[in-house]
Amino acid sequence: MNALKAFASQHPRITAWIVLAIGMVVILLWASKDVGLLPTQLLALVIATIALAGLCVWIIGWEDNDDDEADAAASTPKSAK
């Protein structure tokens, strides 16, 4: 359990991607249970869903980068002329 916590703290985006992908795939499988998709179609949807989860985490990470850059700019002293 400690190893899992350490991995999650060291790699928060990968952890978020895994958790979001699992949740999205579960919802996809539940919603498509009576649709009658072929196994290859279902596999393609699962792969696309995992990629979409990664894209969502990546886009959400843009805001974190903006906050980090703003904090870095605010903490650097301005040179006097």
Is 54 within the bounds of a domain?
Answer: yes
Our CA angle for 28, 30, 35, nearest 5°, is: 85
- The reported pTM is 0.75
Is 29 within the bounds of a domain?
Answer: no
Higher pLDDT: 78 or 49? It is 49
Looking at residue 45, its pLDDT comes to 97
Is 57 within the bounds of a domain?
Answer: yes
Instruction: Quickly state the pLDDT bin for 77 (edges 50, 70, 90).
Output: low
**Other Cβ atoms within 10 Å of 2 Cβ, number:** 6
3-class SS of residue 31: helix
Split into its structural domains, the chain has a count of 1
Give the structural domain span for 50: 38-70
Give φ, ψ of 47 to 5 degrees: -65, -45
Tokens of 75: 């903490």
Is 42 within the bounds of a domain?
Answer: yes
Is 53 within the bounds of a domain?
Answer: yes
Is 43 within the bounds of a domain?
Answer: yes
